[in-house]
Amino acid sequence: MHGYGISVRIEQMSRGVFRLNAGSLFLAIQRLERAGLIKGEWKETENSRRAKYYALTEQGQKRLSSETREWGKQVAAIARILEAS
Amino acid sequence: MSLLRNIASGLRSLLEKKRAAGELDEQLYGFLAMAAEEKTKQGMTPKEALRAVRLERGTLEATKEIIHSAGWAFLLETCWQDFCYGLRALRKSPGFAVLAVLILALGIGANTAVFSVVHAVLLRPLPYNDPDRLAMLWVSDTRSVGWAVSDGSTSYQDYLEWRRQVHSFQDLAVFYKRGWSVVTLTGEEPKKVQGAFVSSNFFPLMGVPPLLGRAFTEEELRRRERLIVLSYGVWQSRFGGSPEALGQKLYIDGKPWQVVGVMPPEFRFPFLAGNWEDHIEDEVQLWAPLTTNPSDEPSASGSLNVTRSPGKARFQVVGRLKPTVSIGTAQNEMDTIAGRLAGEYPDSNKTLGVRVRRLDEYIAGEMRRPLLLLSLCVLLLLLIACTNLATLSLARGVARARELAVRAAIGATRMRLVRQLLTESALLAILAGGTGLLLAGPTVRLIVALSPVNIPRLDETRMDAAVLAFSFLLALLCSLAFGLVPARRFSAGDPHELLKTGQQSTATNTLPMQGLLVGAQFALSLVLLVNAGLLIRSFVKVLEIDPGFRPDHILTVRMLVSDPDAAPRGRIADYYQRVLERLRQIPGVQAAGTVSNIFFREENRNHALRQVEGHPAEPEANWTPLVWAQIGGDYFRAMGIPLLKGRYFHSLDGPGSPPVAIVNQTLAKRYWPGEDPIGKRLKGFDPRGQNDDWVTVVGLVADMRSHGLERAPMAEIYEAQAQSGEATPNLVVRTSSGPVLPAETIRATLRSLDKGVILSGIETMQDVLHEQTAPRRFQAWLMGLFSSLALLLAAAGVYGVIHYFVAQRIPEIGIRMAFGASRKDIVVLLLRRAVRFAGTGLAVGLALAYWSASLLKKMLFGITDTDPLSFVGALSLLVLAALAATYFPARRATRVDPMVALRYE
């Protein structure tokens, strides 16, 4: 998925809550790429425009699932704390 | 892995800047374009869409900046920018750059040089195993008066007792204090080397095994076997570094010694008591078993002479402390042991104590204080250099205020400005560090050249890695020290304020700061100058001392008749006789004589004569230093010591005739105050304690400072060599006032009479005195040098401040002159300012100098620590410097044309 696609997708899925600026988005992409979690490749879009498509690497997959697990744990914990109070 | 990738991508963004940026641009542009396309689908015109996207998502350039500045590579890049910019800025004001670099280079160079020396002599760990636990033990004689101490030797018997009783030390080793100074390495031209006689536990105790072979054993020592351990140097020069050396014979004084080992090159110990008059190298080149010292007469038992009599106290002791024992504890224990021995042997040990000191401190010895003083001085110098630079940078910063304000106004953050300034000063510091290092090399050589001859380990001074690190650390510290002052001032300023008011207001703001810095420079410089003044004055006082003889046109040489064991006394006397006769025939020789010792610089013990006719025995409290010298030929005439009464020795004073002596004034005053000493009789103080004849005084000569120039003459008795038969190896030749007699003539004469004679270098008496004053010369020169630099720096500081002051005040001065101020008024205005800066500093400096001078008290000679001349001299030098440094900028100020100045405004 290319940069704009990512931002649109996130916006849609969060139902408009997260709207990414190009600055934050590409900074994040740059970091992830440097960390070896994603990999970019130049391709043509459907509108025949050149764009760099990013995909998770194997390492990125692993990291995603571990981070997701961790996140789930934390959210659940925070929810429990909030309920208790 | 990810770190590597991070670095790689950072590097890529640096190296392939264009491509990386291009890729990012394309992505960003694509992003915006796609967003805009979306909007146009919803019905906006392309232009509206683009505008909306920019509003929502941020502009392309701003986004690029955000992303670009996120990586570490960006930081590096801006640093590089700062660096280039700094270089450009320095190139643009070369005057400032050169001055700044030079000032700092002086400070750093001096520091590096002195630190190199301090490192070599004081700081570097000694090359022995666990050197912190090694200690020196020596005897202190409580009879000694004032600062005079006994020569510290102990008797062998006492050493054995110490070793038996002590618990603080793992072991004690012993060696002869005086080395083997009369060694002939037979084979080549006879050559003297220094050798040490050490106990068998010496090498294990020092913890350094031989490089090759072995050391000798206790058993071999007891059997008095002639074994020898070579120094690396002798091994190289004699045996070419061949392992074959082991087991070979080395002929010393005609006797064979078997080589058993070779020590590593860095092993140099003991530093034997400089047999000062011998002109012998102090570096030990041979080690032999303690029991084989040929100068010690074997006792009946065949072992070491173990009596406690003072003449036999010839040993020095080194010990290794047990791991947990401190020097203090060891000292306490030795005090107890010395007390016990004093009780058991009151005759010999009643007044003896023991001192224990760390070996490194002991070796550094007398050099410790001057070197520490010197390092303090160069640190002050560096401090002055740093303040000076801060003043300069501050002044320059004022000039650059507008530039910085502009940079701040167009968005440079405060951090970025501080970093810029710091980078520039770091740049200066690095340049200065490099230049300083270049200066340090010659300075080290200067220090070594000026230093007194026998400072242990000084010749090992190198500019090593530690010194290099030190130098650059200093440079960096300086950079921070003087970089931060202006940085703080200007980064704090509000750019609007700066831009609006321009230069004047900031100039007035920084002036108090600059004044403070200049004041500090003057205070520190005064401290240095006063101390230098005191030391230089002491040195001059020492030079002014009348040595009691005429040192001009005297040549002196020490001649050692080889193999003294084989040479019967008569033969030596005969040789002296022939030498003197032959020399007398050489044209240009006015007088020639021989003497046992010219100087007794190490003689510190107090003595009394055994008996003086008509006097009761002297109580010990009245004892003073007293020496006994043997002379031959025309010694007094050669030295230029005037005969005051009576007669010289003559040829009739021989072995058969009644013993006679010549005394000096101090001795005459001591025993026969107000009386004529001629014809009086005295006895004893014969070192051999043998003859008990009455000796009649036949002559009275003037005092000479045989005890060292700085000490009062001591009582001295001269006897004729022909009567006493002692060796008088020092030849003194007075030449006619024409050109100095070539040393070669004398050398050839001496050699022609005995091929085997060992000769020291031929020196003029002036050189000998020169050597005696070397420590003072060392201090005086270096202190003088460093304080002159301080003076120069202080002057440069005032100059810089006034110069910038004038530069900024040109409009003001113009207005003043337009309103009728005369040139004189302007000069007075500036002078008043300069004096105010310097004056406060000088007042503070005076107090500091007064205090620091009191620390110097012990090192002064002939003046007090409040010597008015030094204080007034230093003060007036600095005031003069301040005035001179103000004069030139002031002259420039008076040339201001009011019209031009006002138009500028």
pLDDT tier at B701 (50, 70, 90 boundaries)? very high
**The pLDDT of residue B562:** 59
Mean pLDDT of chain B: 79
- Across B589-603, B674-688, B839-853, the highest mean pLDDT is recorded for B839-853
What b/e sequence results for A57-69 when a residue is b if at least 16 CB atoms lie within 10 Å of its CB, and e otherwise?
Answer: beebeebeeeeee
| Separation of alpha carbons B293 and B213, rounded Å | 22
**The pLDDT of residue B184:** 56
| Separation of alpha carbons B487 and B422, rounded Å | 7
What mean pLDDT do residues B719-743 have? 80
CATH 1.10.10.10 describes domain A3-84: yes
| Separation of alpha carbons B860 and B539, rounded Å | 8
Q: Which two tokens stand for residue B816?
A: 């003043």
Would an 8 Å CB–CB cutoff place A48 in contact with chain B? no
Q: CB–CB of B783/B538 below 8 Å? A: no
How far B58 CA sits from the closest chain A CA (Å)? Answer: 7
Question: Cβ neighbours of residue B523 under 8 Å, at least 6 residues apart?
Answer: B841, B842, B844, B845, B848
Closest C-alpha among B106, B126, B124 to residue B466: B124
pLDDT tens per residue across span B1-16: 556 766 776 676 666 6
Of A8, A26, A31, the CB nearest to B28: A26
**The pLDDT of residue B487:** 59
Sign of CA dihedral B148, B153, B158, B162: positive
- Residue B332 pLDDT exceeds 80: yes
Least reliable range by pLDDT among B227-241, B480-494, B637-651, B718-732:
B480-494
**The pLDDT of residue B781:** 87
Would an 8 Å CB–CB cutoff place B532 in contact with chain A? no
- Residue B401 pLDDT exceeds 90: no
Q: CB–CB of B172/B198 below 8 Å? A: no
**The pLDDT of residue B530:** 92
Q: Read off the pTM.
A: 0.71
How far A42 CA sits from the closest chain B CA (Å)? Answer: 10
Would an 8 Å CB–CB cutoff place B1 in contact with chain A? yes
Distance of CA B197 to the CA centre of its chain: 30
**The pLDDT of residue B275:** 41
ipTM of the complex: 0.81
In Å, how far are B185, B243, B247, B267 from B212, measured between CA atoms?
Answer: 21, 8, 11, 13
Do B31 and A7 make contact, defined as CB atoms within 8 angstroms? yes
- Residue B301 pLDDT exceeds 50: no
| Separation of alpha carbons B393 and B800, rounded Å | 10
Q: CB–CB of B264/B211 below 8 Å? A: yes
Would an 8 Å CB–CB cutoff place B5 in contact with chain A? yes
Contacts of A22 in chain B (CB under 8 A): 28, 31-32, 57-58, 60, 63
Among A1, A2, A4, A18, which would you mutate to test the B interface (most chain B Cβ atoms within 10 Å of its Cβ)?
A4
**The pLDDT of residue B180:** 65
Count interface pairs A-B at CB distance under 8 A.
66
- Across B443-447, B771-775, B783-787, B794-798, the highest mean pLDDT is recorded for B783-787
Would an 8 Å CB–CB cutoff place B74 in contact with chain A? no
- pLDDT tens digits in sequence order for chain A, 85 residues long: 888 888 888 888 888 888 877 778 888 888 888 888 898 888 888 777 888 889 999 999 999 999 999 999 999 999 999 988 7
- Residue B601 pLDDT exceeds 80: no
| Separation of alpha carbons B653 and B20, rounded Å | 106
DSSP symbol at B648: -
What mean pLDDT do residues B725-733 have? 84
Question: Cβ neighbours of residue B362 under 8 Å, at least 6 residues apart?
Answer: B135, B136
Q: CB–CB of B734/B591 below 8 Å? A: yes
Closest C-alpha among B232, B257, B245, B253 to residue B190: B253
Alpha-helical regions (H) of B451-502: 465-492, 495-501
- Residue B281 pLDDT exceeds 50: no
Amino acid at B228: I
Chain B residue with minimum CA distance to A49: B30
Q: Domain extents for chain A?
A: 3-84
Sign of CA dihedral B159, B161, B162, B168: positive
| Separation of alpha carbons B349 and A71, rounded Å | 86
In Å, how far are B113, B299, B430, B769, B776 from B379, measured between CA atoms?
Answer: 12, 57, 18, 32, 21
Would an 8 Å CB–CB cutoff place A11 in contact with chain B? no
| Separation of alpha carbons B573 and B721, rounded Å | 8
Q: Which two tokens stand for residue B56?
A: 């929502």
**The pLDDT of residue B398:** 66
Contacts of A51 in chain B (CB under 8 A): 27, 30, 34
Contacts of B62 in chain A (CB under 8 A): 23
**The pLDDT of residue A82:** 92
